[in-house]
Amino acid sequence: MSDETKPTSGIARRDALKVMAAAAVVPMLPESAAAAPAPAPASREPLPLLDEPQRPVRRKGPRGTPSDPVLQVAKADWPMKLSLRELTTLSALCDMIIPADAKSPSASAVGAPGYINEWASRPGGDASLVRVRGGLAWLDRESQARFGTRFHLATNAQRTAICDDICYLPKAKPEHQFAAQFFDTIRDQTATAFYTTPQGWKDLGYIGNVAIPKFEGPSAAVRKQIGVE
């Protein structure tokens, strides 16, 4: 792929930092006009220096484009499509995937269901929405058939029994294949939602861009585990 056909991507300020240089074209004049006075150059604003602060470029539309999102003002500009009933079931499933413990809150407590609702409701995400809605309906039907109640009202042991049947796609029964694919999707999205929050960072032990006086390197246990000691 040539440079001319490569897709472009970047952030909004890229446009603000582009400076177009104007080349002066001097036409060849006949000798009879050589003595004629040259016209005064048109006045124009000086070009900005690259290190000068630039005004932010205002963009129209939801988030720019998929390849050039405006992350500084990222927000969902589309309607959320999951119903309250679906979100209730989804919250129970998210908390089965990442429950609360002594270190951190549950996935639903940090907004994972809302994140998944935004992701599944996005423009062009029809296939994702069908999978999420179909899986949530399956959970409630399966719970009703096994235990006589909806998934979020079942006991933790009952919900665990259902999740155990769909939590590993290669070993899922043929009749559970769709539900297992759905579970994979929700597990990935739940983890993405949770571990991009401050609570998730803390759970991982991530301290961010913080200076440390000395880097000791991996511990002996880690070096032994990866086979370098």
Over residues 181-208, the mean pLDDT reads: 92
CA separation for the pair 177, 171 (Å, rounded): 9
pLDDT of residue 22: 36
Q: What is the pLDDT of residues 65-119, one digit of tens each?
A: 555 555 556 677 789 999 999 999 999 999 999 999 998 999 999 999 999 999 9
Q: Give pTM, 2 decimals.
A: 0.63
pLDDT of residue 38: 52
CA separation for the pair 184, 159 (Å, rounded): 16
**H, E, C per residue of 158-222:** HHHHHHHHHCCHHHCCHHHHHHHHHHHHHHHHHHHHHCCCHHHHHHHCCCCCCCCCCCCCCCHHH
Per-residue pLDDT band for 34 (boundaries 50, 70, 90) equals very low
Q: Which of 58-62, 100-104, 111-115, 171-175 comes out lowest in average pLDDT? A: 58-62
**pLDDT of 228 over the 60 cut:** yes
**pLDDT of 218 over the 90 cut:** no
* Dihedral sign computed on CA atoms, order 171, 173, 174, 177: negative
What phi and psi, each to the nearest 5 degrees, are found at residue 68?
-145, 65
**Which residue in 162, 93, 166, 165 sits closest to 133, CA to CA?**
93
Please name the helix (run of DSSP H) or strand (run of DSSP E) that holds residue 64, with its range, or none. strand 64-65
Kindly give the interhelix angle for 156-166 and 126-147, rounded to the nearest 10 degrees.
130
